[in-house]
């Protein structure tokens, strides 16, 4: 399939299931920013269950609708330190956290101006960790209807993503059970290099 999808913040497992199965990947670059979507948030498995990690962004009330590629990260909050601490609390005891820690650490040390720029760096790092190629195109114009693509842009809105995947071992599953379709980091830290094989076996709707 020729996939059309959003670049999001440490994307959900469903994002990567779609990408693994795609013959080509095109990222949407011309859409407007929408609040409360995975463009600037991810979900992890914390000791207390599902935890939302959200990156604060600058809103431009004068401009009205703002394209996502123009959205800037709000530098007044130390979200990087907070997010990395949360990841450590969630995954320090997972089998592969230390293995991948040095790969993901730059995300939480470098200062990015634009959210989109950060998301592309993340996608590249995660693909390297998974051992999958990261070849893609970018849209140059926005279209509501895209018959030439398998349009999975709605996956960026977690509430519309109802995909169910096979259980794998999670750190706190004895407390809260298996939690489906979290950030790709959950799969990576728990399954390591087996994560890619897992993704290939899953089905996407």
Q: What is the pLDDT of residue 60?
A: 73
> What's the CA gap between 3 and 162, in Å, rounded?
18
pTM reported for the whole predicted model: 0.96
Q: What is the pLDDT of residue 69?
A: 95
Going residue by residue through the chain (205 aa), what tens digit of pLDDT does each one get?
Answer: 999 999 999 999 999 999 999 999 999 999 999 989 999 999 999 999 999 999 999 977 666 689 999 999 999 899 999 999 999 999 999 999 999 999 999 999 999 999 999 999 999 999 999 999 999 999 999 999 999 999 999 999 988 899 999 999 999 999 999 999 999 999 999 999 899 999 999 999 8
Q: What is the pLDDT of residue 62?
A: 64
The ranges assigned to domains in the chain are: 2-201
Interval 156-169: pLDDT, tens: 998 889 999 999 99
Distances (CA, A) of 174 to 37, 171, 177, 178, 192: 29, 8, 6, 8, 20
- 3-state DSSP helix/strand/coil % of the chain, to nearest 5: 40, 15, 45
Distances (CA, A) of 4 to 49, 88, 107, 176: 31, 32, 25, 34
Half-sphere exposure of 199 (CA within 13 A, CB side): 27
Q: What is the pLDDT of residue 73?
A: 97
41 SS3 class: strand
Output the CA angle 52-40-62, nearest 5 degrees.
125
> What's the CA gap between 87 and 68, in Å, rounded?
25
């Amino acid at each position: 399939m020729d996939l059309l999808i959003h670049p999001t913040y440490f994307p959900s497992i469903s994002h990567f299931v779609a990408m693994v199965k795609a013959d080509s990947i095109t990222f949407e670059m011309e859409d407007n920013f929408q609040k409360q979507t995975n463009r600037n948030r991810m979900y992890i498995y914390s000791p207390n269950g599902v935890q939302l990690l959200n990156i604060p962004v600058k809103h431009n009330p004068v401009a009205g609708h703002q394209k996502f590629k123009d959205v800037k990260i709000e530098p007044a909050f130390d979200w990087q330190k907070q997010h990395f601490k949360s990841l450590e609390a969630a995954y320090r005891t997972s089998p592969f956290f230390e293995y991948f820690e040095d790969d993901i650490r730059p995300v939480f040390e470098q200062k990015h101006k634009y959210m989109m720029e950060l998301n592309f760096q993340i996608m590249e790092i995660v693909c390297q960790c998974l051992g999958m190629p990261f070849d893609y195109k970018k849209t140059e114009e926005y279209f509501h209807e895209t018959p030439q693509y398998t349009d999975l842009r709605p996956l960026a809105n977690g509430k519309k993503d109802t995909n169910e995947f096979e259980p794998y071992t999670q750190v706190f599953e004895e407390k809260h059970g298996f939690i489906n379709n979290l950030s790709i980091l959950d799969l990576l830290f728990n399954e390591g290099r087996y994560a890619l094989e897992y993704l290939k076996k899953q089905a996407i709707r």
